[in-house]
Amino acid sequence: MLSSASNINAESIKALSVAWGDVNGDGFADLALGALGQSVIYYGSAGADVSDALLWPGSNSEQVRDVALENANGDERPELFYTNFGRNNSLSVFGNSLSEGEVSFATYWLEPDQNTFQSLAIADYDNDSDLDMAVGSFYGPLRVYRNTLREADANVAVTLDGTPQAGALVYRRTSDDTFQPFTDLDFGTPLQTDADGVARVGRQLAFNDEIAVLVPIFERNEYRYSGAALPISAAGAPTITATLTVTQDGIIRDLQLIDITGQHGWFGDLVFTLVSPQGTTVEVYSSDCSPLGTAETYPFHLTLSDAATRPFGDPTCPPHTEAVQSRAKNPLTIFNGEKSAGTWQLVVEDRYSEEGGVLSGWGLALGTADYPLYYTNARPLPDGISGTRITGFEQQTIALSSAPDAANTYPLLLFDLSVSLEWDARNDPGYMSQLKADLRRSSELLYDFTDGQIALRNITIYQNRERWAEADVRIYATNRQRPNADQGGVTNVVYADDEIDDVIYYPGRITIGAIWNRYGNETGTIGEDWPRSLAHELGHFLLYLDDNYLGLEGEASEADLIAIDPPCGGAMYDPYRDEYTEFMPRAGWEPTCTKTLSNFFTGRADWETIRLFYPQLRAPQSFGANPGPSTQPLAVTIIEEVQPSAPLTTLQNTVFSLVDSVGGRVVPGSNTQAYLFPQSGERLIDLGRPTVDQVDARGVRPGDELCVYELSHVPQPRLGCVRVGDTSGTLPLRERADWRPDVRITPLAATTISITVQAAGLGSPAPTTLQARFYPVGQSATAVQTLNASGGIFQTTFAVSRTLETGYVRLWVDETARPRREIIIDYSQLGAPPFGSTEGGGPTLQDECEEDNKDCTKRKRKRGAPASADGQALLYFSDELVPGNYYSLQGTTVLPQAPPWSTIVGRGYRFVTAPGSAEPPRASINFAYLEREVPDGTEGGLAIYRYNEGDGSWTELRTTRFDTLRNEIAAPLAGDGLYVLITRLPLLNGWNVFAYPGPSTTILAGLQALNAQGYTTIYGYNPGESWLLYDIDAPEYVNTLAQLEYGKGYWVRVAGLVPVAAATTANDGALPLPPATYYGTLNGVPGLRPA
C-alpha cells in the first residue's frame, strides 16, 4: 500500500515527466522534472521534502516530454536523458560532473531530428553490461540506440613543450579518492603512453574522470654491438651470446632493444634473452613464425620497446624489410633502477636443429638519469592533489611544460628503495603486513615533507640478509637499534658537494631496528614512530640533509654539541609532530636554526640543500605555505617481496619465556642482551633486550642456539643458552657469581682487531685457555681462535677481508659445566683506509678527486654519526677523521663502582684510538637512555662521566646538550677511556638537603640503592611531628627515622667524600641546619621520678 500523497512546491513548473536519481552523490534521491519552458532538478534531503532547485542544461524554452536519470557510463553518477518536442526536436544526453559538491552538466550526445521524440526507456538491451536507450516518436518509428560511450576512442595524449611523450604513466581518481594507474592489458602493469605519446585506455576511461600523468625525464643514448656477426649453427640446439659494453654510468629509467638483425631459416625456433650487468635476466622475444618460400634463410629486424603500439605475439614474421616495432615478451621496465654501465648480453637460443642462421647486430637505447624525475599535472594541495578532468570521449590531450614554475606542471621525484631484513620473516605475516604499511606511510610522510614533490615508487623487500650489501635500508632484528643514515648515501659514486669544497658524500645506507619508538624503549613501536623515523632518515639518505635538532657551538675545531632551543622546526628537527611535517625553507631559518648541524656544516636551509642536488624542485616561500599534502593519493608506491632462495623452516611462534632454575618467571634488567646463533654458524643475530620476561627470537629455526646474558645483574651475573627444538619454549637463566670478564678490543687497521682479556674475573676453575670467534656485520664469521694466557692476560688477533664497521666477539670457556661461561662483546669501528689505498676493499677517492682537480685528503666524509653497535652512544666530530686513522667504540663487559650517591644508567662504552693513529679531532659523545633505567626523580642529575683507570677516580664531563624529550645527553669527548652515564645526587662534605627519589622503603635499603657513602646523620621531618633521626653511631632508641619516602626532603651530613672533578669539597654554612640532638642515659636515684 502507498501512503497519502505529499505535494512539492513547484506550482510554476508545468511538469510533463519525472525521474528519480542521486545526482549530487549525497545518498538521497533527487527529483528531475521535465516541463514546458523550464525543467529543474530538486535535491533530496533527510526530511520528507525536496529542495534547492537546479536548472537543467540547454534551452529552457523546450518542451521536455520524457526524462530519465541513469548511470550509462559506469562513473557512479547518473546521466541526464531527455526528449524534446517542439521547434528543436532532439534527443539529448548530458554527463553529470560533481566538483566540490557542485553539480554541472556537459553534453555527451545530441541528436536533432525532424521526428517528434516522445517517450524513452533505459535498459541493457544487448547484454553488454552497459545501458542502452529506446525512444518512441509521435510520427516516426521506434528507435533503439546502443550505448557506445565507453567504446569510443577514449585515449589520453601527453605532450611536453608540444612534443608527444612516450613512456608517460596515466592515473585516474577512483571512488576511494586515490589515483590508480590504468592497466596495460598485455602485461598487467601500469599503462604507458606509446611512441606517439598516447595512452590507449579504451573502455577504462569514463566521462568526468580526473586524470594525472607522470612524464619521466631522462637522457637517452644508443649503444650498438660492434663485434663480428655470430653464426647460429644448424646442428643441435645452439646458444650464442653477443656482448655489448656500456661505459657511461647512470641509473636506467627506460630501456629499448634496438635493431636486432640477422637471418635464420626458421625464426620461430629462436628465443632472445637480455642479461644486464647486474645479472637480471629477461626473456624478451620468441615467436611462432614458420619458414616461408624456398630460401634457406630469411632476414629479421626487430626493435623492442614497452612503448610500441604492436603487442607482443603479433605474427609479423620474416622476411623483414625494415625494423618491426614490437613490445617485448616481458616488460623491459624490469631493468629500471639498475646501473647502466657494464657488459650486457643478448643470448639467442635455437631450440631446434636443422635450420641455422646468423646474428648480425643489436643495440640498446638507454634512458638514464641520476635521479628519477617526472613532470606531472597533479597539483599538490593541503589535503591531496587535483588532476585534469575528462570532459568528452574524444582523445584528451594533457600538455605539460618544462618552463620553471609552469602553472600546469609540477616536478615529482620517485625514488626506488631496496630493503633487506636481517632475518627470515616469511612466517610472521603480521610483521610483514605492518612493515609494508609502514613503508607506504613513510612515503606519504616524505610526500608531505616536500609539498608533494618526492615519494617512494618501487620498494623491494628481501629476507634473511639477501642483497644485504646493496640494500638501501637494513632492518635489524634487534629492538634497541637507533635509526641512523649515511648523509647522501643514495649516491652511487663518490660525490662532492658543489658549494663546499671539502665535503664529499659516499654510497651508504639506512639502518633501523625491527621496532622503534621515540623513547628507545624495547616494548614496541608507538603509533607511527617507526615510519616517521624512517621518513626523517630518508631526508638524510635521499636529500643530503643534516639534523636540525642538534647543533654545534664554537669555533669549527673546538665546537661542542648542543641542543637547539628554541626549536628550529621541521621534519629534520622533530618528525613526530604533525605541525613540523615540512622541510625548512630559507624564510624563517634564522635565527633559530643558525646553530644547527645543517647550518654549521653548509650554511644552508633544508630546501636550499634539496634544490642544490635536485634543482627542478620548488622550494616553498615560507614554512607551512602548503601544510600538506596530508595524503599521497597517487598510487605510485609499489612494494614487492622477493622470496628467499632458502626453504622456509623458521618457527611460527618465536617468543621464548625467561625462567629461573625452578621455572619461576625472570624479568631481567635493561642491560640484558639476547642473541641468536643460526645453526649455519656463519653469523649471529642481535635480538636486543628482552621485553619484560620474554625474548622474540625473530627468524629462529630448529637447531639454532638462543642465548641471553645479564652480567650486570645484582648480586650475581645471570646467563643461559638453549638449543631450539621444533617449538619455542623457555630459556633458563642461571647465576654465575664469579664470571665478570674484562674484555677489551683495540683496532689495529681497517680489517684487523686485537682482543685482550684479564685473567681476573674469569671465575673458578681458572681457565688455561679461552675460545673466541668474531662476527663482523656484513661478512662471514671468522674461525674459532684459542686465547692463551701470558702475564695474566689472554690475547688474540682477528683479521677479516673488508673494512670493519661493526661486529661482535663471542668469548667462552670450553667446559662442560652449564651454564657455560661466555659473553658477547659488541664493537664499532671508525675510520677509513688512507687516500688512494685499496686496504680493506672499500671505495677510494682518487679517481673522483683527480677529475675535479681537488685535494681529497682533507675532505669531510659526510656519513651518519659514528655509533656504538647498539646505536645508544654516538660521536659527533667537529671535523672529519683523517683517512688511515682508526678508532672504536666498544660496549664494556664490566663496570667499576659508581661514585658515591650515584647510579650508573645503562651501559658503558670504551673509546679507543688505534696504535699509530693520530689523536681524533674534537668530538662530543652523545648518550641515549631509557626513562625506566633512571631512578625516579633523578633524571635532572644525569651527566656523562669518564673513568680514570690510573687512580680509580671519576670525572664528570661538562654537559653541552640535555634533551629530556628525546632522552639524550652529550658532553665533550675527553680522549681514550671508559664513558658512562650516571645519575647522581650532588652531595658535598657537610650538611646537604635532598629529596629521596626512589620508592618508599626502609632507610638501610634506600641508602643502599643510592650508593650512599660517607654519611653519618640523617634527619627527616613531618609537619606537626617531632624531627626524626637516623645516626650510624646512635643507639637504637635514638634512631626514630625508619623509612625513606618518595619525594620527601631529608638532611644528611656526609664526610670524607672524594670530590668528583673540580667540585667544592664542603657544604657547611650553605644550608639552614637541622636541630641538634642530645641523648644519653639518665640514672635514677632515690626520690627522683619522671614528672
The 10s digit of each residue's pLDDT in 1080-1090 is 877 767 776 66
* Three-state DSSP state, 352: coil
- Does 355 have pLDDT greater than 80? yes
The 10s digit of each residue's pLDDT in 598-629 is 999 999 999 999 999 999 999 999 999 999 99
Mean pLDDT score of the chain: 87
Residue with cell 635521479: 371
The 10s digit of each residue's pLDDT in 102-148 is 777 776 677 776 567 889 999 988 887 788 899 988 777 888 888 77
- Does 855 have pLDDT greater than 50? no
DSSP labels, 11-58: TT-EEEEEEEE-SSSSSS-EEEEEEES--EEEEP-SSSS-EEEEEPSS
Residue 402 in contact with residue 444, Cβ under 8 Å? no
**pLDDT mean over 63-90:** 81
- Does 88 have pLDDT greater than 70? no
**pLDDT mean over 268-276:** 94
* Three-state DSSP state, 60: coil
Residue 176 or residue 399, greater confidence: 399
pLDDT of amino acid 705: 97
**pLDDT mean over 373-383:** 95
In this predicted structure, which of 153-162, 768-777, 836-845 has the lowest mean pLDDT? 836-845
In this predicted structure, which of 317-326, 559-568, 1022-1031 has the lowest mean pLDDT? 1022-1031
- Does 401 have pLDDT greater than 80? yes
- Does 55 have pLDDT greater than 60? yes
* 156-217+372-410 matches 743-984 in fold: yes
- Does 942 have pLDDT greater than 90? yes
Q: Quote the CA–CA distance of 846 and 835 in Å, as a whole number.
A: 7
Report the amino acid identity of residue 2: L
Residue with cell 629499448: 256
Quickly name the fold that domain 14-149 has: Methylamine Dehydrogenase; Chain H (2.130.10)
pLDDT of amino acid 857: 44
Residue 161 DSSP code: T
pLDDT of amino acid 844: 45
Quickly name the fold that domain 156-217+372-410 has: Immunoglobulin-like (2.60.40)
DSSP labels, 813-877: ---SSSS--EEEEEEEEE--PPTT--GGG---SHHHHHHHT--GGG-EEE-PPPB-TTSSEEEEE
* Three-state DSSP state, 633: coil
**pLDDT mean over 716-725:** 95
Which of the listed ranges 315-329, 423-437, 1014-1028 does the model predict with the highest average pLDDT?
Answer: 423-437
- Does 839 have pLDDT greater than 50? no
Question: pLDDT grade, residue 393 (50/70/90)?
Answer: low
pLDDT of amino acid 935: 83
- Does 292 have pLDDT greater than 60? no
Q: Quote the CA–CA distance of 189 and 730 in Å, as a whole number.
A: 48
Closest by CA position to 895, among listed 999, 1011, 766, 809? 1011
Residue 909 or residue 1063, greater confidence: 909
Q: Which residues contact 407 (CB under 8 A, 6 or more apart)?
A: none
Helix segments in 416-496, DSSP class H: 429-449
Burial 1023-1051 (b: 16+ CB within 10 A, else e): eeeeebbbbeeeeeeeeebeebeeeeebb
**pLDDT mean over 744-749:** 96
pLDDT of amino acid 101: 66
CA distance to 425, 514, 657, 870, per residue, from 431 (Å): 8, 9, 20, 22
- Does 512 have pLDDT greater than 70? yes
pLDDT of amino acid 198: 93
Residue 204 DSSP code: G
pLDDT of amino acid 100: 62
The alpha carbon of 1039 is separated from its chain's Cα centroid by a whole number of angstroms, namely: 60
| β-pairing verdict for 673-677 and 179-181 | unpaired
**CATH number, domain 655-735, options 1.10.10, 1.20.120, 2.40.160, 2.60.40:** 2.60.40
Would you kindly state where each structural domain of the chain is located, as residue ranges? 14-149, 156-217+372-410, 218-370, 414-641, 655-735, 743-984, 986-1091
pLDDT of amino acid 507: 86
- pTM for the structure as a whole: 0.82
The long-range contacts involving 522-525, CB below 8 angstroms and separated by at least 24 positions, are 522/479, 522/480, 522/688, 522/689, 522/690, 522/691, 523/691, 523/692, 524/479, 524/691
Residue 387 in contact with residue 173, Cβ under 8 Å? yes
The 10s digit of each residue's pLDDT in 531-560 is 999 999 999 999 999 999 999 998 877 889
**pLDDT mean over 313-339:** 86
Superfamily of domain 743-984: Immunoglobulins (2.60.40.10)
**pLDDT mean over 990-1014:** 88
Q: Quote the CA–CA distance of 1014 and 827 in Å, as a whole number.
A: 37
pLDDT of amino acid 526: 83
Superfamily of domain 218-370: Galactose-binding domain-like (2.60.120.260)
- In DSSP terms, 221 is beta-bridged to 366
Residue 666 in contact with residue 694, Cβ under 8 Å? no
pLDDT of amino acid 1064: 43
Q: Quote the CA–CA distance of 561 and 652 in Å, as a whole number.
A: 45
Helix segments in 587-710, DSSP class H: 597-602, 606-613
Residue 535 in contact with residue 497, Cβ under 8 Å? no
Q: Quote the CA–CA distance of 973 and 250 in Å, as a whole number.
A: 42
* Three-state DSSP state, 1050: strand
* Three-state DSSP state, 102: strand
Question: pLDDT grade, residue 931 (50/70/90)?
Answer: confident
Q: Quote the CA–CA distance of 574 and 592 in Å, as a whole number.
A: 14
Residue 794 in contact with residue 770, Cβ under 8 Å? yes
* Three-state DSSP state, 911: strand
Q: Quote the CA–CA distance of 519 and 441 in Å, as a whole number.
A: 20
**pLDDT mean over 9-33:** 83
- Does 239 have pLDDT greater than 80? yes
Q: Quote the CA–CA distance of 660 and 710 in Å, as a whole number.
A: 13
Residue 434's Cβ-count burial label (10 Å; 0-12, 13-18, 19+) is middle
The 10s digit of each residue's pLDDT in 780-801 is 999 999 999 999 999 999 999 9
Percent of the chain residues past pLDDT 90, beyond the cut: 56
**pLDDT mean over 304-332:** 86
Closest by CA position to 784, among listed 816, 743, 755, 827? 755
pLDDT of amino acid 852: 42
Question: pLDDT grade, residue 850 (50/70/90)?
Answer: very low
| β-pairing verdict for 638-641 and 860-862 | unpaired
